[in-house]
Amino acid sequence: MQELVDLTSKLLQNGDVNVVIGYEEGPRGVRPVVAATPDDCRRLIFDHRAVHNLATYLSPRRKHLRVRGRAAVVLKGCDAAAVATLLRERQLKRDDVVLIGVRCGGVYRTTTAEGALSADNVADRCGGCALREPTLVDHLVGDLPPEPPTAGQRAARIAALEELSPAERFDYWRRSLADCVRCNACRAVCPLCVCERCVADKTDPQWIESSPHLRGNFSWHMARALHLAGRCVDCGECQRACPAGIPLTVINGKVGQVMGARFGFRPTDDPDAPAPIGTFDPDDSQEFIR
């Protein structure tokens, strides 16, 4: 994408930024890259394989990137929503970063997919996306591609799980979470797991058992979902990183549905929009409270 190459080269040449975080063609597919020279910028690309949420590299935990200085970062709309959350939670200063939005026509679910975007290979979050032209940007590049198709598998799976009895659902998650080895990859890649010290790493008291047995795994996955409720932008990086293939976006999707139905929440790239958890309405529904 020449427009992107020209823009980022100029940003580096003018000294506006020290590095550009974008996508490149790696030896085995598209991957993130930290470009430090105009020459590096020639490698920058953007297409349906740009699955990764680069906002995660802006997290304050990335000390090895902070030392590189001011960064520009290439963002899809969904990624910009993660940046908005970082700003809302004061994890990032707006002036410390240059945001390059890309008009987006959807991405694959995996980095290895090929061919035209279809309901079978498109990421769950893409269908009906309201953020295809992010507004939380300093620069916006590309032409607006056609709307992406809608993937139905996740919604269908959530609905199917809800049909089951609690005991059957418990069995489903027992089988699925049995594979979790608690490598914490889901946490490490998440752009919004920003805690310096995670509750799951605390040992005194130990609220979440750190061992990858089912009891610890249930506790961890409940805590993860809960701590991301109303913050998760549904980028799906956790599931992509999971070496055990746990359907984490099914949990995230369910939480997203709850946040939408109860509090009207949708991921947004407006950093001034209130977060649903941490705010309240005196008239919130309380049908579950006696």
Partner 1 sequence: MSNEQKYLSESEFDALVRELIASGKRVVAPVAAEDDLEPQADYRAVSDPAKIVLDGPLPRRSLKEFFLPATEALLRWRLKKGDVALDETEADYPETVVVGASPCDAAALPTVDRVMDWDYRDEPWFGRREATVVISRACPGRDSSCFCPVVGLAPDSTRGADVMLYPSGEDAGGYLVEVITERGAALVAAHSKHFQAPREPAGVARLREEARARVDGNSSARPDEIRRWLDKNFEHELWDRLAERCHGCGACAAVCPTCHCFDIVDEPEGGDSGTRRRNWDTCQAAVFTLHGSGHNPRETQNARFRQRVLHKFAIYPERFGEILCTGCGRCVRACPGGMDLPEILEELGRLATSSQSAGGTP
Partner 2 sequence: MSEATATRTPPAVDAFEPKIIAFVCNWCTYTGADLAGTSRLQMAPNVRIIRLPCTGRIDPLFIVKAFERGADGVIVSGCHPGDCHYTAGNFHARRRFAVAREIMGFLGIDLDRVTFSWVSASEGGKWSEVVNETTARVRKLGPFNTYRDLVAGS
Paired strand residues for 34:
21
Q: Name the nearest CA neighbour of 74 among 3, 169, 152.
A: 3
Peptide bond just before 267 cis, omega within 30 deg? no
- Residue 69 near partner 1 by CB under 8 A: no
Strand partners, 127: none
- Pick from 243, 262, 270, 285 the residue near partner 1 by CB under 8 A: 243
Identified binder of partner 2 from the candidate list 4, 100, 173, 234, rule CB under 8 A: 173
Q: How does 9-33 read in b/e, with b if 16+ C-beta sit within 10 Å?
A: bebbeeeebebbbbbbeeeeebebb
Q: What are phi and psi of 133, to 5 degrees?
A: -120, 90
Question: What contacts 258, CB < 8 A, 6 or more positions away?
Answer: 229
**272 or 284: CB nearest partner 2:** 284
264 binds partner 2 (CB under 8 A): no
- Partner touching 262 among partner 1, partner 2, none, CB below 5 to 8 Å by kind: partner 2
- Indicate the length of the chain as a whole number: 290
Residue 175 near partner 2 by CB under 8 A: no
E strand or H helix that includes residue 226 = helix 214-227
State the binding partner of 219 from partner 2, partner 1, none, CB within 5 to 8 A by kind. partner 2
Measured between alpha carbons, how far is 110 from 51 in angstroms, rounded to an integer? 7
Is position 48 an interface residue for partner 1 (rule: CB under 8 A)?
no
List of residues contacting partner 2 (CB under 8 A): 161-162, 166-174, 199, 207-209, 211-216, 218-219, 221-223, 225-226, 229-230, 251, 254-255, 258-259, 262-263, 276-278, 280, 282, 284-286, 288-290
List of residues contacting partner 1 (CB under 8 A): 26-34, 52, 56, 61-65, 67-68, 109-110, 153, 175-176, 179, 181-189, 201, 203, 206, 209-213, 216, 237, 240-245, 247
